[in-house]
């Protein structure tokens, strides 16, 4: 029914994912302050994209499937982002001032 990706493609993706895991492991030992978490999440994000697009074959799927896959990720961002708005902005107002 659909194009079937080659074994080579799958193995290449697997290799990339494994290498990125090793990178995550060793990069976490490098002191980067607040950027550590950013780098870790970025690497995880790329790994996720590889699994979604190639292993789950979303790259070859219909626009509808792509929309639903993207919507899931987007809704998670809505949850995390809007909750974060509260916590991040609680300290913006200096003590005792209205504005």
Partner 1 sequence: MLTPVTAPRRETLSDSHGAVAEHNPNLRHHFDTMEQQFDSATLGMWVFLLTEIMFFGGMFCAYMIYRSMYPAAFASTSAHMNPKWGAINTAVLIVSSLSMALAVRAARLGQQKALQILLLITIFFGLAFLGVKAVEYHEHWVDNKVPLIAGHWDYSNTEHEPNQAQYARQAQILFCFYFFMTGFHAVHMIVGVGLMLTIFAMARKGKFDAHYFTPVEISGLYWHFVDIVWIFLFPLLYLIGRTKELI
Partner 2 sequence: MSTALIEPRTVETPNYLNAEYGWKSWLFTKDHKRIAILYIISITVMFFLGGVFAGLIRFELLTPQGDLVNSDTYNKFFTMHGVIMVFFFLIPSIPATLGNFFVPMMIGAKDLAFPRINLLSWYIYVVGALFALTAVVMGGVDTGWTFYTPFSSTFSNTFVITAACGVFISGFSSILTGLNFIVTVHKMRAPGMTWGRLPLFVWANYATSLIQVLGTPVVAITLALVGLERAFHIGIFDPAIGGDPILFQHMFWFYSHPAVYIMILPGMGVISELVACFSRKAVFGYSFVAASSIGIAVIGFLVWGHHMFVTGMSMYASLYFSLLSMLVAVPSAIKVFNWTATLYRSSISYATPMLYAFGFIGLFTIGGLTGLFLATLATDVHLTDTYFVVAHFHYVMVGGMVMAYMGGMHFWWPKMTGKMYPEGWAKFSALLVFVGFNLTFFPQFAAGYLGQPRRYHAYAPEFQVYNVLSTAGATVLAVGYIIPFIYFMWSLKYGEPAGDNPYKATGLEWKTSSPPPTYNFETPPIVTEEAYAYAGHGAKEGDVV
Is residue 49 within 8 Å of residue 20, measured between CB atoms? no
Q: Which does 94 bind (CB under 5 to 8 A by kind): partner 1, partner 2, none?
A: none
For the CB of residue 10, give the shortest distance to partner 1 in the complex, in Å: 5
Is residue 7 within 8 Å of residue 15, measured between CB atoms? no
Cα(3)–Cα(71) distance, integer angstroms: 24
Orientation of helix 7-27 relative to helix 35-50, angle to 10°: 170
If binding is defined by CB under 8 A, does position 56 make contact with partner 1?
A: yes
Q: Which of 35, 60, 72, 93 binds partner 1 (CB under 8 A)?
A: 72
In this complex, which beta carbon is closest to partner 1, that of residue 48 or of residue 93?
A: 48
Q: Which of 89, 94, 95, 96 binds partner 2 (CB under 8 A)?
A: 89
């Amino acid at each position: 029914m659909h194009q079937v990706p080659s074994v080579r493609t799958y193995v290449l993706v697997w290799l990339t994912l494994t290498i990125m895991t090793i990178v995550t492991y060793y990069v976490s030992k490098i002191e980067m302050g607040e950027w550590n978490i950013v780098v870790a999440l970025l690497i995880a994000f790329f790994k996720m994209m590889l699994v979604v697009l190639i292993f789950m074959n979303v790259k070859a799927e219909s626009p509808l499937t792509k929309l639903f896959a993207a919507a899931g990720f987007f809704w998670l961002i809505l949850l995390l982002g809007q909750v974060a708005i509260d916590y991040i902005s609680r300290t913006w107002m200096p003590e005792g001032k209205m504005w």
